[in-house]
Structure 1
Amino acid sequence: MTEQQHKPSLPAILCLTDACDRPETELFIGLKNAGFDVDVMCNPKGRNFQRLVDEGMVAQPMALKNRFDKEGTAAIREQLAKKNYEVIHAYNPRALACGLRASKGTDIKIVAYRGVIGNISFLNPESWITFLHPRVSKIVCVADAIKDYLASLRFLWMRIPEKKLQRIYKGHDLDWYQAEPADLGEFGVPEDAFVVCCTGRNTPRKGFDVLVNAMSDLPDDVEAHLLLVGDVTENDDLKAQVAASSHPERIHFTGYRNDAPAIAAASNVFVLPSTEREGLPRAVIEAMAYGVTPVVTGVGGMPELVEDGVSGLVVPPKSARALSSSIERLYRDRPLMASMGQAAQDRIGHQFHTSQTVSETGEMYKALTGRN
């Protein structure tokens, strides 16, 4: 028999991740249902951990502390000894560094996942123990913008070969988004108000300050309310900016919330005013899945999510005037807003469906292991 004949029909995959989100969890289960032998090592504190346990897919609970976690590396090495894995798929830099170390001396294919732009450099030693490591066979990029960024990296003669880079969108399913819209009254939002929602972490690149300026630029007859969802409530500078804005009573902080998608679902428009380094933001996808019209900046993978003028509006980053004009346009043209919201929902339901992610990921595994 030839070596090819000895191989099972589909390869065995070891996925290394942390507290995997719903799209990752359903990808793993979808691959198993497609016939792949998939085991997962992940954080037992994740909200989807039990679902993977019920599916018989958790090889070992694992919560890596850092990229040099000795116990975690030993646990991965121990798991690799139990089965003839052909691929390790690592979903974060810690898992990638530890997986590379644990599989040293083997011919296992290493697949990395990259969800954001930035922080990789040929001059950064940490990049060489993760994405630039010569044993990495593929880097799955969650958006074309990330793939293009990685392809553009250069230092002297060094670059990442094009064949190592592959874009696979993170898939979703509209059935996951069935929560009842939240009652916005608890945040002081008047009943029947026109609501703009923005969800994000408290980092300057999210552009909250630009959005607050945009709200101040709205004409007085555009009575829009803004909900800022997340730990941005800890940003004293932003609070001072809100207090000094033209209508501070129309801007509401919710603090960190577990029901952020339900808050977005109760809004009219969802805005993400990021100024740099976005991948394929989950908050935008969740809002679109609920049929909420998105307004985003042309940063990272966001223009791949939102078709400008069809399934939402795309504006230049750092432009309060452009954001303000877009919000006013949707406020004054409710039929346009409704049609864009429906188109946004349809786009997530079809172009970003989890079945497509399962199919493309499975084909990549087969190509890497000579099953094509």
Structure 2
Amino acid sequence: MNKKLKVINMLAVTHHSRENINPIRPEASQVIGLHLSGKVKVTALCNPNSTLIPFYEQHGIEVLTDPLDKKLSLSTIQKIRQLIHEKNIDILHLFNNIACCNGAMAAIGTNVKVIAYRGQTGNMSRLDPASYLTLLHPRLDKIICVAKAVELELKTHLGRHKDKAVTVYKGHDTSWYQNPKADLSSLGLPEDSFIISLVANLRPRKGLPVLMEALSLLPNDTNLDVLLVGADSTSPKIQALIQSSGRVGRVHALGYRTDAPEVAAASHLTVLPTTKREGLCRAVLEANSYGIPAIVSDTGGNAELVKDGHTGIVVPPSEPQLLANAILKLYNDRELCSLYGKNAKERAQNKFNVEQGVNATFDVYQKLLK
């Protein structure tokens, strides 16, 4: 007779203040998938009013709350430690820096296996004492990275503990992307315009200046419009960058949008010209899930998202001319652009689905507990 496998008790600790579920849905769906598998019993610790709470509870996950507002909080450490003992937690899964700092400290002296999350490359050093409170904390047993590039970069900081880093792709579900395309009629775009979207929290490293310079290098008669989701139209800096593109009136700063995936779906092409420190960009996967191809720069996990010459185009970072050439290639060949989009949707479904993320995470759990 086969021995019945023990259900793994997992405590997920995470803090989110976003009202929109889109940015955190892949993470939440992975946790929910583990719980619904029957192999893992999940308890979640979230900040009060977290968007995740109703999302978890409707799938039968017990949710407890804590402010989770300080990187080191004695009360938070005590609460996590108490839960580890009371609920016989086998796996403590920590999804951001606040969770990692407090959770790793709480785990000291216990037998719980501790897993942290790493979502991007860069911004880390073995010479920085703060790193030893998070990803270099000696109490961590595994660090799940969002992309292979992130894993490889992290290993350069782990010394003889390189085996702590492992890659699990965040999973997306095509059922999330069934909404109609965003209505862009208020923008008054020409009917025959080629529409490009850039969906990002537009920090400097996201490469907006690179895109604006690339636009300035295109032929003057190129009939295209660019939608900047996340760009504040009232920002003088954003307006100055738009002016530099030479396409005032054709570059549209749309600000924060809760329907960012639907805006991408209304475009012909999405671009992400990040200059450094990238992970596995959710906005690209969202666009791909709607059948929209991408041009990305070769930073972080971008080249793992986009298969160059099959689902889109990968260009070197900070190379406006090469970005302009890639845009022009798909502008001039709409059939190729559509084919890349079709291929991108298939690849998102097959390689970046929720099921693979759940299975890979469970595999990490099992190997740790052996």
- TM-score when scaled to structure 1? 0.93
1:117 counterpart = 2:121: yes
1:221 counterpart = 2:225: no
Shift of 1:8: 5.8
1:141 counterpart = 2:141: no
Match of 1:311 in 2: 311
The amino acid that maps onto 1:319 is E
Judge conservation of contact 2:231–2:238 (CA < 8 Å) in 1: no
Match of 2:31 in 1: 28
Aligned residues: 362
Tell me, in whole angstroms, the C-alpha distance in 2 between the residues paired with 1:293 and 1:203. Answer: 23
Judge conservation of contact 1:18–1:62 (CA < 8 Å) in 2: no
- Alpha-carbon distance change, 177 to 222 in structure 1, aligned in 2, over 3 angstroms: same
Match of 2:20 in 1: none
- TM-score when scaled to structure 2? 0.93
Judge conservation of contact 2:216–2:244 (CA < 8 Å) in 1: no
Root mean square deviation of aligned Cα: 1.9
Judge conservation of contact 2:92–2:103 (CA < 8 Å) in 1: yes
Judge conservation of contact 1:210–1:318 (CA < 8 Å) in 2: yes
State percent identity of aligned pairs. 39
Shift of 1:57: 1.1
The amino acid that maps onto 1:366 is Q
Shift of 1:160: 5.1
Q: Write the mapping of 1:162-173 to structure 2, written as runs, cut at 5 A.
A: 162-173=162-173
Tell me, in whole angstroms, the C-alpha distance in 2 between the residues paired with 1:110 and 1:292. Answer: 38
Tell me, in whole angstroms, the C-alpha distance in 1 between the residues paired with 2:310 and 2:51. Answer: 34
1:87 counterpart = 2:91: yes
Match of 1:12 in 2: 9
Aligned to 2:283, what secondary structure does the other structure show?
Answer: helix
Shift of 1:65: 0.8
Tell me, in whole angstroms, the C-alpha distance in 2 between the residues paired with 1:289 and 1:205. Answer: 25
The amino acid that maps onto 1:227 is L
Higher mean Cα deviation, 179-188 or 113-122?
179-188
Aligned to 1:136, what secondary structure does the other structure show?
Answer: coil
Judge conservation of contact 2:15–2:98 (CA < 8 Å) in 1: no
Judge conservation of contact 1:187–1:253 (CA < 8 Å) in 2: no
What whole-Å deviation, never above 9, does each CA across 1:266-300 have from its counterpart, x for those lacking one? 00000001000000011111111111110100011
The amino acid that maps onto 1:107 is N
Shift of 1:232: 4.4
What whole-Å deviation, never above 9, does each CA across 1:172-200 have from its counterpart, x for those lacking one? 11111111101112234333421000011
Aligned to 1:248, what secondary structure does the other structure show?
Answer: coil
Q: Write the mapping of 1:1-372 to structure 2, written as runs, cut at 5 A.
A: 9-19=6-16, 21-35=24-38, 36-153=40-157, 159=159, 161-233=161-233, 235-370=235-370
Match of 2:19 in 1: none
Higher mean Cα deviation, 166-175 or 19-28?
19-28
Higher mean Cα deviation, 21-30 or 276-285?
21-30
The amino acid that maps onto 2:57 is V
